[in-house]
A and B are shown apart, each in its own frame.
Chain A
Amino acid sequence: MTHPAASVEGVGKRFGATLALDGVDFDVAFGEIHAIVGENGAGKSTLIRILGGVHRPDRGVVRVDGRERHFASPHDAIAAGVVTIPQELRLVPALSIAENIALGDLPVRRLGPLAVVDRARMRAQARAVLAELDFDPDPDRTVASLGFAERQLVAIAKALRRQCRVFVLDEPTAALERREIARLFAVLARMKGKGTAIVYISHRLDEVVAIADRCTVLRDGRVAAVRARGAFSVADLVGAMTGRAMQETVSAAAAPGERLLEARPDGVTTMRLRAGEVVGLAGLLGSGTDRMLRGLFGAAEATTPVAVRGGERRLRGPADAIAAGIGMVPPERSLGLVMNQSVRDNILLPNLDALTRIGWLDSRAGDRIVAELIELVDIRPRRPELRAGALSGGNQQKVILAKWLGRRVAVLLLDEPTQGIDIAAKAQIHALIRDFVARGGGALVHSSDLAELARLCDAVLAVRQGRITAALDRSMGFDEPKLRAAIGG
């Protein structure tokens, strides 16, 4: 091939006061997987949105298959063969798999003067593309009945049917289990073999090293490095992304202290959490770790009795759990924050009672606490009046932590605390969790990233099918493969 499948040259884009992209060159060849990495705010999303026709560049040129293009909408980009799979899949849950795949281009047949949907052909087409992905569901099932990984395959099938030539994936593995990731990679390898150009964005650098033929590193809206396969490692990429060498967080071996939490999250096994301790809950998607954490917070259908600092109580709702000194960092940030309210109001939300003076809010004391917490957890920018929704993922997660640090909870329950956030913010969140337990708190963490649990935790409980099946202690030594074996992954 003489020209790349798609390229941008000297692309710039400004949003208000922020320069998101500043003269970026990027290209992807047919039959190539080209990864884009960078910290949050580096410009990755802006770049692929320009490729996908969502944003128009202020300057610079976009070419697809050698021709200069001016996409006015995502529809134009799709017509030119550029298909993007965003993090939030754009599927209609209430429609069937086959209908979703055909949507926008329904096969029709004539019925006299009418054009009606040819359901038989629609189903056959769906089966054919799904077979290419080694996925064989009943095409009449609704998308609502599928798990995330399967939905993603449906979205990919939809792209395949559209004869896409440039395939853009934004953080496709953020919510996948290891086996599902392997399946996705097999699909991508097959597409690559057929000559599709693939643009791949991920925070998981080990994946990038594993599958990318080339990797472009963005930093502050510019290209910091472009490396070919074999010429980059995870440490290289981190260095190029942050402009500094990577610092591994290692869990401190804390002396176990006061018993903070005791419960039977699965109804059978007793779990204890002591001050100074980070305990991990390891389990595959669907193993029930999410329900256990919600249960300990009083937010599940059936709640378990929980003993906090020795006092047994039944939690009838999150308000009870919070009163008992438990805080929760939910798996989705939209559950942890009221996105259209300010950072300040979000931090104060669980702290309103403490700030109430005979009926009204002591807003000066509130401002003082918020300022301290923003400084402590390092929320950027340092603007308490900013809407929570305007912050990057890593900073949103810090706001959620700040809520509970302000409340001085004894126990933190964290579900996927670092999912989808960049590596620098991830290290900060880990440091905050370690710091929290070093000051006498206890943390219970679930993460689908087992390497993260192995690094962060003093002990890990393995969960299978809603039951705690094994307890691993740091003193016995654990690493990612051991944890994987324990959860049956």
Chain B
Amino acid sequence: MTMTAHRSALAGQMPLISLIVLCAVTALLTDRFLSPLNLTNILVQSSIMAVIAMGMTFVIVGGGFDLSVGSTAALSGCVAAMVMLEAGIAAGVAAGILAGAAVGLANGLVIAFLNVNPFITTLGTMVLVRGVVFLITGGAPVSGETGLPGEFVEFGSGRFLGIHYLVWVPALLLAVLSFVMHATPYGRRVYATGGGREAAYLSGVPVRRVIASTYVWCGALAGVAGVMLAARLQSGQPTAGEFYELTAIAAVVLGGASLQGGEGTLYKSVIGVFIMIVLGNALNLLNVDSYWQRVAVGAVIIAAAAAERLRSRQ
């Protein structure tokens, strides 16, 4: 291997290196960081965002953008809770995920077949879907007279083999979806479409269908995240998921994906999520004022994107 190959291999691991450095520095500054309780907290907090960020990775690798995931998660959580109270847990979970997939399909069809800008389209659905959530819930949390079914609440707080169910979900999804992205023809077509839509089209890739499909993944995964959130909050919360889209996009970019499309990896996006969550956790433990926390998180996102640009310019 040449020097440049070494350097680019190192650059490819920047997200992981950043995360390790961040953890090391935090562990040195405060002894509470490495406590089992805190680490568990970080894992659980990261789990829901990781699921959303994986969906966002599909869309961004395909050359798109999705602002509607926060609203979609809220919709899915509320729909899941409402259906669950009437027809049982399985039906509720399925309905929640399907609701998310339906929002994604609507986004995908408008963007891929009507050629509407993804930013505008999903800005629209972000507002629209939130409105629908308030309409169907009347603005009140959905938990029924006696609360959501016990097993569902158990899913939101219980553990399997010592690890929260909520953490198992993104772990399994990451394994399955990484396979889809890297080892199936479909996944390679997503990368090709995002990297060069016209070139992919002229190579026989059905680019419109591929683009639409990435939004369906994103919506369905936002749906999964919404159901997880409902389990954790023991109710469907119509106001849940606000600003999730921004955190998810920031995490995907921190994970090294390019907003031009064609670049990005699921596990690195998950690392990006960890960076966001650990950073927030560290600032909390260090008693940084919450207003300053926002300033710091915003600055980190811009710095990461700028570092990426500087590196690719060389």
Please report the C-alpha to C-alpha distance between residue A363 and residue B183 in the assembled complex, in whole angstroms. Answer: 8
**Chain B proximity mask over A351-386: 1 for CB below 8 Å, otherwise 0:** 011011001110100000000000000000000000
B242 at the interface (CB under 8 A from A): no
Q: Is B192 touching A345 in the complex (CB atoms < 8 A)?
A: yes
From known contacts A338-B195, A339-B195, infer whether A359 and B188 are also in contact, taking CB-CB under 8 Å: no
User: Across the interface, do B188 and A338 meet the contact criterion of CB distance under 8 Å?
Assistant: no
A402 within 8 A of B: no
Asked if B195 and A299 make an inter-chain contact with CB atoms under 8 angstroms apart, the answer reads no
Of B183, B185, B201, B263, most A-chain CB atoms within 10 Å: B185
B26-34, B202-210, B292-300: which lies at the interface: B202-210
Shortest Cβ distance from B183 into A: residue: A360
A174 CB–B CB distance under 8 Å:
no
In the bound assembly, the distance between CA atoms of A403 and B192 in angstroms comes to 14
A195 in the interface, Cβ–Cβ < 8 Å? Answer: no
- Size bracket, chain A contacts: 20 to 34
Contacts of A359 in B (CB 8 A): 184
B211 to chain A, nearest CB (A): 14
A360 partner, pick from B184, B189, B203, beta carbons under 8 A: B184
**Which residues does chain A contribute within 8 Å of B189, judged by CB atoms?**
349, 352
Does B184 contact A349, Cβ atoms closer than 8 Å? no
- Name the residue on A nearest B312 (C-beta): A340
Residues of B within 8 A of A363 (CB): 183
Within 152-194 of A, Cβ neighbours of B (below 8 Å) are at none
User: Which residues from A are CB-within-8-Å of B191?
Assistant: 338, 341, 345
Give complex CA distance A334, B199 in Å: 7
> Once bound together, how far apart are the Cα atoms of A299 and B199, in whole Å?
12
Distance in angstroms between the alpha carbons of A363 and B188 in the assembled complex: 12
Complex: chain B residue closest to A328, CB-CB = B202
B window 144-192: CB within 8 A of A: 179, 183-185, 188-189, 191-192
- Assess whether B4 is interfacial by the CB under 8 Å rule: yes
Check B196–A350 contact: CB distance below 8 A. no
Contacts of B205 in A (CB 8 A): 319, 349
Q: Is B3 an interface residue (CB 8 A)?
A: yes
Contacts of A334 on B, CB cut-off 8 Å?
A: 196, 198-199
Query: In the complex, how many residues of chain B place their beta carbon closer than 8 angstroms to a beta carbon of chain A?
Result: 26
For A336, list chain B residues within 8 Å (CB): 199, 202
Residues of chain B lying within 8 A (CB to CB) of residue A338: 191-192, 195-196, 199-200, 262
- A318/B203 contact (C-beta < 8 A), A16-B3, A363-B183 known: yes
Inter-chain contact B184/A337, CB cutoff 8 Å = no
Chain A contacts for B188, CB-based, 8 A: 345, 348-349, 352, 361
Q: A436 on the interface (CB 8 Å rule)?
A: no
Judged by a CB distance under 8 angstroms, whether B2 is at the interface is yes
A355 neighbours in B (Cβ, 8 Å): 185
Instruction: Indicate whether A335 reaches chain B with its CB closer than 8 angstroms.
Output: yes
Q: Which of B4, B185, B201, B203 contacts A361 (CB 8 A)?
A: B185
* Across-interface contacts of A200 in B (CB, < 8 A): none
A221: CB under 8 A from chain B?
Answer: no
Complex contact B185–A330 (CB within 8 A): no
Q: Which of B3-37 contact A (CB under 8 A)?
A: 3-4
CB neighbours (8 Å) of A403 from chain B are: 203
- The docked-state distance in angstroms from the alpha carbon of A330 to that of B202 is 8
CB of A297 within 8 Å of the partner chain: yes
Contact B206 A319 (CB under 8 A): yes
- Binary interface profile of A, 10-21, with partner B (CB < 8 Å = 1, else 0)? 000000110000
Given contacts A318-B203, A319-B206, A345-B188, are A340 and B183 in contact (CB under 8 A)? no
Is A322 located at the chain interface by the 8 A CB criterion? Answer: yes
Among the listed B4, B179, B196, B201, which residue makes an inter-chain contact with A337, where contact means beta carbons less than 8 Å apart? B196
Q: How far is the CA of A341 from the CA of B194 in the complex (A)?
A: 10
A17 neighbours in B (Cβ, 8 Å)? 2-4
User: Knowing A349-B192, A352-B188, A359-B184 touch, does A341 contact B203 (C-beta < 8 A)?
Assistant: no
* Complex CA–CA separation, A346 to B202 (angstroms): 12
State the Cβ distance, A274 to closest chain B Cβ, in Å: 25
Chain B contacts for A350, CB-based, 8 A: 203-204
* Cβ–Cβ contact A339 & B196, under 8 A: yes
B262 to chain A: closest residue by CB: A340
The answer for the CA separation of A355 and B203 in the assembled complex, in Å, is: 15
| Contact indicator A341/B262 (Cβ below 8 Å) | yes
- How many Å from the CB of A19 to the closest CB on chain B? 13
Chain B: which residue is nearest A341 at the CB level? B195
- Name the CB-closest residue of B to A294: B202
Q: Is the CB of B201 within 8 A of A360?
A: no
Q: How far is the CB of A293 from chain B (nearest CB, A)?
A: 11
Interface residues of A in 301-342 (CB under 8 A from B): 317-319, 321-323, 328, 330, 334-341
A288–B192 Cα distance when bound, in Å, is 29
Min CB distance, B1 to chain A, in Å? 11
Check B185–A353 contact: CB distance below 8 A: yes
Q: How far is the CB of A350 from chain B (nearest CB, A)?
A: 5
Residue numbers in B under 8 Å from A317 (CB-CB):
201, 206
B201 touches A318 (CB 8 A): yes
Report how far A378 CA is from B165 CA in the complex, Å: 53
From known contacts A17-B2, A338-B195, A341-B262, infer whether A299 and B202 are also in contact, taking CB-CB under 8 Å.
yes
Candidates A16, A319, A337; contact of B199 at CB < 8 Å: A337
In whole angstroms, how far apart are the Cα atoms of A417 and B85 in the complex? 65
B195 touches A322 (CB 8 A): no
Residues of A within 8 Å of B204, CB to CB, are 318-319, 321-323, 349-350
- Sample 30 A-B pairs with CB under 8 A, ordered by A number: A16-B2, A16-B4, A17-B3, A299-B201, A299-B202, A317-B201, A322-B204, A323-B204, A330-B199, A334-B198, A335-B199, A335-B202, A336-B202, A337-B196, A337-B199, A338-B192, A338-B200, A339-B195, A340-B195, A340-B260, A341-B262, A345-B191, A349-B200, A349-B204, A350-B203, A350-B204, A352-B189, A360-B179, A360-B184, A361-B185
Given A16-B3, A16-B4, 16 additional A-B pairs, CB 8 A: A297-B202, A299-B202, A318-B203, A321-B204, A330-B202, A336-B199, A338-B200, A339-B196, A340-B196, A340-B262, A349-B188, A355-B185, A360-B183, A361-B183, A363-B183, A403-B203
5 interchain residue pairs of minimum CB distance: A352-B185, A338-B196, A338-B195, A322-B204, A319-B204
Where the two chains meet, the residues of B that have a C-beta atom closer than 8 Å to any C-beta of A are: 2-4, 179, 183-185, 188-189, 191-192, 195-196, 198-206, 258, 260, 262-263
Give chain A's interface residues, CB within 8 Å of chain B.
Answer: 16-17, 297, 299, 317-319, 321-323, 328, 330, 334-341, 345-346, 348-350, 352-353, 355-356, 359-361, 363, 403
